[in-house]
Structure 1
Amino acid sequence: MQHEAGTRHQHDHHSGHAGHEAHHAAGPAGWGMAVRATLHCLTGCAIGEVLGLVIGTALGWRDLPTMVLAIALAFFFGYALTLVAVTRAGVGFKAAVGVALAADTLSITVMEIVDNGVLLFVPGAMDAHLSDGLFWGALALAFAVAFLVTTPVNRWLIGRGRGHAVVHAYHS
């Protein structure tokens, strides 16, 4: 019994320490973690979105179904990257799904709203073909703007012990 209580005390102390780390993440170091979290999110989103746009464009789909596919794949690959990292850290699949949803949903949502919004506002971007510089230039611009908008969102989440702060706990 005493060993159990000691273990519980150590666990409670560690839990308090995790909150302490999250509090410090809001400081200058929080920007570095926010940038890394946003780059992680951007990687998954870019893989999915490019794949969706390539498939939709190659099949001659209209804008709406192409964007729906691109967004769905962006979420899929965004979550998949986190799932791989967290399961490699020894977390079971079901728990890892919960971590991925908690860590990435807001970040991916903001990123997708911003980058698709930029694509819709760039004249001719949605009608450009894969071989057009406009297609790739508009996509690069959209990702850059989404990165700039999503980084402060991730910093805010991390500063509150949410978002990629949750994932970071499994890497420590």
Structure 2
Amino acid sequence: MTDHAHAHHDQHGHEAPAVAGRELTKLAVSATLHCLTGCAIGEVLGMIIGTALGWGDWSTIGLAVVLAFFFGYLLTIGPVLRSGLPFKQAVKVALAADTVSILVMEIVDNGVMLAVPGAMEAGLTNVLFWGSLAFALLVAFVVTVPVNRWLIGRGRGHAVVHQYHH
């Protein structure tokens, strides 16, 4: 890191990363793919369970959101624990790293699922359900990348977890 990067701290004491431009975008894409993985696991599992049980849209979405946050945080907590951080601290790192990203992704992908006529009612064997879910996750990814880019550029979001990846 440059001396200037070491000297630059935001108002909350987090060091801003010494990256910009394409490198910052690459980090944002990587962070968003990480988020997408946890969200997708939770979304798919929640949608499958809710749909299979015949739940309504809001119950199914509620379960999918809870599971998306659970798996999203879990994918961060595991590696952070392996780096030697105690569980309580690992949870704090995951909350700081992933909350905004997961929240944006969940709002967008569930909004898309609700906006596609018949998607939520299509059933697990219908291509409309799976196509809509895949499309919803893709749209959520595209919307979340610039959010993560902005956060990482300010030393927030997924930037707080990078020191534990080594």
Q: Structure 1-normalised TM-score?
A: 0.87
- The unaligned stretches of length 5 or more in structure 1 are 1-12
The equivalent of 1:152 in structure 2 is 146
- Residues 5-37 of structure 1 show CA distances to partners (whole Å, capped at 9, x for unaligned) of xxxxxxxx9x93795973432332001110010
**How many Å separate the matches in 2 of 1:171 and 1:84?**
11
- The unaligned stretches of length 5 or more in structure 2 are none
**How many Å separate the matches in 2 of 1:18 and 1:116?**
38
The equivalent of 1:39 in structure 2 is 33
> Where in structure 2 are the equivalents of 1:46-65 lying within 5 Å?
46-65=40-59
Equivalent pairs counted in the alignment come to: 159
Which one of 61, 68, 71 corresponds to residue 65 of structure 2?
Answer: 71
The equivalent of 1:131 in structure 2 is 125
Indicate how the Cα distance of structure 1 residues 38 and 18 shifts in structure 2: closer, same or farther if over 3 A, else same: farther
- Residues 101-147 of structure 1 show CA distances to partners (whole Å, capped at 9, x for unaligned) of 00000000000000000001101001011000001000000000000
Which one of 85, 91, 100 corresponds to residue 85 of structure 2?
Answer: 91
Residue 158 of structure 2 is aligned to residue 164 of structure 1: yes
* Contact 2:17–2:159 (CA under 8 A) maintained in structure 1: no
The equivalent of 2:20 in structure 1 is 26
The equivalent of 1:9 in structure 2 is none
Q: Which amino acid aligns with 1:79?
A: Y
The equivalent of 1:102 in structure 2 is 96
Specify the structure having the higher radius of gyration (Cα): 1
1:171: how far off?
A: 1.7
**How many Å separate the matches in 2 of 1:158 and 1:101?**
15
Q: What value does the CA root-mean-square deviation take over the aligned residues?
A: 1.9
Q: Which amino acid aligns with 1:96?
A: A
Q: Structure 2-normalised TM-score?
A: 0.90
Q: Which amino acid aligns with 1:91?
A: L
Q: Which amino acid aligns with 1:140?
A: A
**How many Å separate the matches in 2 of 1:27 and 1:93?**
34
Q: Which structure: greater helix fraction?
A: 1
